[in-house]
Amino acid sequence: MPISFTPTSDVAAILNSLLDIFERRDGAPKQAVRVRLDDLTAKLSGYYSQIDPLPRVTANEQFTQLEQQGWLRLAWQPGQTGHLLETVTLNPNQVDPLYTLLERQPIAEQRRRLRDLLLGNRFRLTGWQERAVQDCLAQLKAGKSPAPFSLTNEAWNQDLLTTLIALPSEETQEETPYRVFSVRVFNDSKRFELLKDTVARLARAHQPAWRDLSPQETLRELGLVANPGHLYLYGPWQLVDAEGQATSLAEFYPSVGIPVAMAAQVRRAVIDAPRLVCIENLASFYEFIRYEGQGQAALCLWGNPSPATRHLLRCLPPELPLFAWADLDYGGLNILAHLRQQVSPAFVPYHMDEATLEAHARYAHPLSPADERNLARLRRHPALADMTSLIDHMLQRGLKLEQEAVSLGVAPLSH
């Protein structure tokens, strides 16, 4: 007779577990597809209840009907026939009716639908986005998980793909707040919030230049920020835009923050100072101004240099001496490498040497195993050939130092 019931939660949990096993074996099981109910107690909400027998009675009735249809084979605990099931075994030739009963798509159909979605939109992608989709298609072809795409959540897949299509494939100087981007793409100011970490992870995985960036820095490369940012500058800067309009910053003390949108319009920058020091963190930026900034110029990097920061630095005369001051750790050395690769190879380390580390060793922190691995990898970085001695010293001493620990204006340090 036809099945006319809706599976209880316990029956659905057992049937789905059977189909999960069936699908993991690619639909061609070499042994019986069977589950022991004792192994599924965490998924069974009522079958083993000592208070209410109805869930178990109903589940047993439904399983008996499914066995009569030839879809399953039941085995009862010794002496508990009709009362407590021991195992349920799937008939691999009768899986289609179970998919229908559970309103579940076969995994082959799920894979096909996702593959068709990606293939149908691949032509709209370039750069790292195209590489990300190609990698997912390769995973599907190999029968592997298509993460971060989903086999079961088509709405998520569509949203993620729509986001990848809407993003620039490379760095951009224009900043767009997350909520503004979300409204433009989805007409919903909060929808991108659910996607942004996944987007950052995909970008880092498929754009080699961004692999060492934080998720926030990665999104910034794509012009996406929580709120519009500013660049903090100190000293006698003069900024000239495309129309030749010059803006002098010399009278601002201790610093001035210019909007990123303004920095993007700069076509030429001049500094009436002997050198420029680019500093990783804001606290050290102000310490530098207070103790060592007389007659000099400085810029706060806020971590790895953003597209707007790199653009402004590229507008400076090539003969201007450039210095970089960052933490004596993997992240700080990586910042120096980025500046040398993406702005100018002429960047000189500032307070980033063995003498600085030793002079402040009492404030240093021990290297973690991850720090050691990352520093060993960074030692081979072509842009840091002159820093291998420092890296070796850090590894030998097992120490790293935050730049905030460096005492300025107290004793001269080598740099």
pLDDT 10s digits, 336-362: 999 999 999 999 999 999 999 999 999
In a domain? residue 3? no
Mean pLDDT over residues 250-266, rounded? 94
CA distance 175 to 228: 6
Both 39 and 114 in one domain: the answer is no
In a domain? residue 190? yes
pLDDT at residue 1, rounded to an integer: 57
Both 235 and 348 in one domain: the answer is yes
Both 307 and 399 in one domain: the answer is yes
Q: Which of 49, 83, 102 is the last residue of a domain?
A: 102
pLDDT reading at 161 higher than 90: yes
In a domain? residue 412? no
Amino acid at 189: S
Both 16 and 77 in one domain: the answer is yes
Q: How many structural domains comprise the chain?
A: 3
Question: Comparing C-alpha atoms, which of 320, 226, 247, 243 is closest to residue 277?
Answer: 320
pLDDT 10s digits, 49-80: 989 999 999 999 999 999 999 999 999 999 99
Both 242 and 369 in one domain: the answer is yes
pLDDT 10s digits, 14-46: 999 999 899 887 655 567 899 999 999 989 989
Both 357 and 249 in one domain: the answer is yes
Contact 312, 278 (CB under 8 A): no
Run of H or E residues at 75: strand 72-76
Both 214 and 331 in one domain: the answer is no
In a domain? residue 414? no
CA distance 98 to 340: 61
In a domain? residue 123? yes
Q: Which domain holds residue 66?
A: 9-102
Both 325 and 387 in one domain: the answer is yes
Both 377 and 277 in one domain: the answer is yes
In a domain? residue 413? no
Mean pLDDT over residues 85-101, rounded? 92
| CATH code, domain carrying 253 | 3.40.1360.10
Both 236 and 376 in one domain: the answer is yes
In a domain? residue 410? no
- Confidence class of residue 152 from pLDDT cuts 50, 70 and 90? confident
pLDDT at residue 410, rounded to an integer: 54
In a domain? residue 411? no
pLDDT 10s digits, 390-410: 999 999 999 999 999 999 975
Mean pLDDT over residues 222-234, rounded? 94
Both 118 and 251 in one domain: the answer is no
CA distance 103 to 85: 24
Both 196 and 240 in one domain: the answer is no
Q: Which of 225, 241, 260 is the last residue of a domain?
A: 225
Identify the bridge partners of residue 348 per DSSP, sorted by sequence position: 323
Strands 276-279 and 322-325, sheet pairing: parallel
Q: Which of 194, 225, 256 is the last residue of a domain?
A: 225
- Tally of CA atoms within 13 A in the half-sphere of 151 that contains its CB: 18
Quote the pTM value: 0.76
